Structures are given as C-alpha cells and as structure tokens.
C-alpha cells in the first residue's frame, strides 16, 4: 500500500476506468489484487466484486436476490437462522418487508448450531434467498454450510454465506462449496479496514445495490477503493495454506488455554460447541454470572486487553444478544475473546492472570 501511494504521488492518481496511463496503472493493480483474492478463496477472478466490507456485501446480496424475485411479480421470502449477524437480519427484514415479502427465522440448538433440515424445510416456492453463516461471530460455532448449500441447490434456491469470520482462519474453497453468494472482509485476516468482497457465482446476474456507474462489471457502482483493495490482495497473497494452518493451530492452542483457565473461575461457563473441531479457532465466549459486561471490559482494557461482550449492550446498543437468546442462555452477561495472527502467549497471560480478580472485585462491589 505504501509503495502504491509513493508511486501515485509521483505519477498522479488514476481512475482504473480510464484509458490514460495513470488509469491503466491503477487498473493493473486492481486486477492483480482481484487475482490474489480469487486464488486465496478458490474462485475465479471475475467472481470477485470489491466492496467496502461484509456489511455492504451482505446488503448487496440480499437486495439483488429480492429484486430477482420481485421483478416477475413474485413476493420475496427469505430464510435465515436466529444467530445470523445483525447485518444479515436487518437487511433481510428491511428488504423483505419493503417488497411485501416475509422472513422465516429458524432456531438453533444450545451450541448455536443450525439444523440443515430445519432450514431446508422452511424453503417454499417463493423463497428468494437462504442466508447461512460459516461460523458464528459471538460463540464461534461452525455451521453445516456444505449441507445447506447442497440442499438449496437441489431445491433451486439461491444461498448466501456470511464467511466474514471464516476466511483467513479456516480453509475456504468457494468453488468447491458451490454457494451462489459469499461475503467477507479484509480486516478479519490482516487486511485494511474498508475493503471487502462479495463473491458472485459465475452466471448469476444480480441488480446492483449502488447505481451510478459500471464499475466492477456493473455489479457495484462507484470508484473502487484502490489502496484498500491492494492491501486486501497483499494480505491474501501472504496467507499461504501453510501459514493458515500454522495460525489456525496457534489460535486453537491459545483459545483452548483461555477456556481451560477462565472456566475455573466460579460462575463462569464456556458458551458454544465444547468440541474444538466444531468451532472457529479464534473465538471464545463465556457466560459470567452476576456481573455486568461493561465492568469486565473496562477492567480488561485497563490492563491492555481489548475485548467485547456477546451482548450488544456493551457497545452501540442496549438490546441483549440475539445469538445468546436463541441459544437459550443469559443474553445480557457474556465476554467474547478473540485472538489473531499477532496475538502472542503473553497476551493470554494477561487475561488469565487478571480476569479472576476483575470479576471478584465487580462481584464485591455488587454486594
């Protein structure tokens, strides 16, 4: 990214949609990044659409699927699980309702896992789209995406996979998966913020969510964020199969250590699949009895640990976590910890050494 900034500073920034020299240089860099992303996720370069991130990709996928079903005069119907990310839930609800359609939400088990049969049995002749996440963003539970994708194809219905938490953390081959639409973001695996991807299966035609130009082969209007795309491609090129395997093993060891240590604290329980093979390697979530999450997060932050609560009340909203509610556990008091490529064992030490006293202090204050 720095190299491109230095070069564009000398030669001038070029719009990749133009045929002058500056524009053609930008086009070469943009298409190189597209090739890097395609190779990384097992796709064709023409199937990669650059976006601003997973949220935009999800919204575009939902909008496009609804428009396909509405244009012949149909009534859109969307199927999704109760543990999907808010970007999926809200886009499905808003676009479905705006077009006079309906949304069917499917429950999950106590681990947060979707039943393929329950999803597929909800599909009707009016179904425009089925949403399924690859791995849950709060408790890390891996979903049976392959079974659901295969079942949707047999029923002739489009399926979108939210792979934001999976890409860069577990092996991903989109051609082998066979999904119609897949969304993910670059910052989840070391790329810059503001860059994401919507994978659109070859042969699938969708209306563009954004209008105004023919960028991204008329699938996403607006001048591309070339700098962020270059960084996204570079991160993808860095993540070889060997490196992903090494990082996955490191993350698994770190999160398993967190589970073993944190669950020794009275009143703390691990949420999600107890089997490591059934969850993402980088995310763990805990229920903390009798303690509000804000105090835990602030206590950890004071010790240099950036954490999050599974409940949205710890950040931008006041609502309990829909994911934890769907699992039938306390949706108000939880702690989510995640590790990344740059997490070291000393970071885990800080959590293990300090979390017990933080929780004890908060419980003492609560009386």
Give the three-class secondary structure for 286: strand
Contact 88, 131 (CB under 8 A): yes
Pairwise CA distance, residues 137 & 6, whole Å: 37
| Beta-ladder partners of 80 | 105
Token digits for 304?
């240099």
Catalytic residue among 152, 229, 285, 313: 313
In this structure, the chain runs to a length of 367
Parallel, antiparallel, or unpaired: how do β-strands 102-106 and 127-133 relate?
A: unpaired
Nearest in space to 235 (alpha carbons), one of 41, 5, 18: 41
Token digits for 63?
């909008």
Active site annotation includes 313:
yes
Pairwise CA distance, residues 270 & 199, whole Å: 33
Give the three-class secondary structure for 101: coil
User: What is the secondary structure of 31-48 as a DSSP string?
Assistant: HHHHHHHHHHHT--GGGE
Q: Could you give the maximum distance between any two Cα atoms of the chain, in Å? A: 71
Parallel, antiparallel, or unpaired: how do β-strands 181-185 and 159-162 relate?
A: parallel
256: phi then psi, degrees, rounded to nearest 5: -65, -35
If one counts every other C-beta atom within 10 angstroms of the C-beta of residue 184, the result is 28
| Beta-ladder partners of 103 | 78
> Who contacts 231 (Cβ-Cβ below 8 Å, separation ≥6)?
1, 186, 191, 192, 195
Q: Given CA atoms 343, 189, 285, 274 in this order, what sign does their dihedral have?
A: negative
34: phi then psi, degrees, rounded to nearest 5: -65, -40
Contact 181, 196 (CB under 8 A): no
**Catalytically active residues, by annotation:** 313
């Amino acid at each position: 990214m720095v190299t491109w900034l230095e070069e564009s500073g000398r030669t001038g920034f070029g719009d990749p949609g133009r045929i002058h020299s500056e524009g053609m240089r930008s086009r070469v860099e943009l298409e190189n990044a597209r090739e890097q992303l395609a190779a990384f996720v097992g796709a064709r370069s023409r199937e990669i659409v650059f976006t601003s991130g997973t949220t935009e990709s999800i919204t575009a996928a939902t909008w496009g699927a609804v428009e396909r079903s509405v244009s012949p005069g149909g009534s859109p119907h969307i199927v999704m699980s109760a543990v999907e990310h808010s970007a999926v839930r809200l886009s499905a609800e808003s676009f479905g309702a705006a077009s006079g359609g309906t949304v069917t939400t499917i429950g999950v088990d106590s681990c947060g896992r979707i039943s393929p049969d329950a999803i597929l049995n909800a599909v009707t002749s009016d179904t425009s789209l089925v949403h399924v996440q690859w791995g849950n963003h709060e408790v890390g539970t891996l979903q049976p995406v392959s079974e659901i994708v295969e079942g949707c194809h047999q029923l002739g219905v489009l399926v979108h996979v939210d792979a934001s938490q999976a890409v860069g953390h577990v092996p991903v081959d989109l051609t082998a998966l066979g999904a119609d639409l897949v969304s993910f973001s670059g910052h989840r695996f070391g790329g810059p913020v503001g860059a994401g991807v919507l994978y659109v299966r070859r042969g699938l035609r969708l209306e563009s969510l954004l209008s105004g130009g023919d960028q991204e082969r008329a699938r996403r209007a607006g001048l591309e964020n070339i700098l962020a795309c270059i960084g996204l491609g570079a991160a993808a090129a860095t993540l070889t199969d060997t490196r992903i395997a090494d990082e996955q093993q490191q993350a698994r060891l770190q999160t398993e250590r967190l589970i073993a240590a944190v669950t020794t604290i009275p009143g703390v329980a691990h949420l999600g699949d107890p089997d490591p093979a059934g969850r993402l390697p980088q995310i763990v979530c805990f229920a903390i009895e009798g303690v509000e999450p804000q105090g835990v997060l602030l206590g950890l932050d004071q010790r240099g640990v950036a954490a999050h609560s599974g409940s949205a009340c710890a950040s931008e909203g006041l609502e309990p976590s829909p994911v934890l509610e769907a699992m039938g556990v306390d949706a108000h008091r939880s702690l989510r910890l995640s590790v990344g490529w740059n997490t070291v064992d000393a970071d885990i030490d800080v959590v293990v050494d300090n979390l017990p006293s933080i929780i004890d202090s908060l419980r003492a204050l609560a009386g």
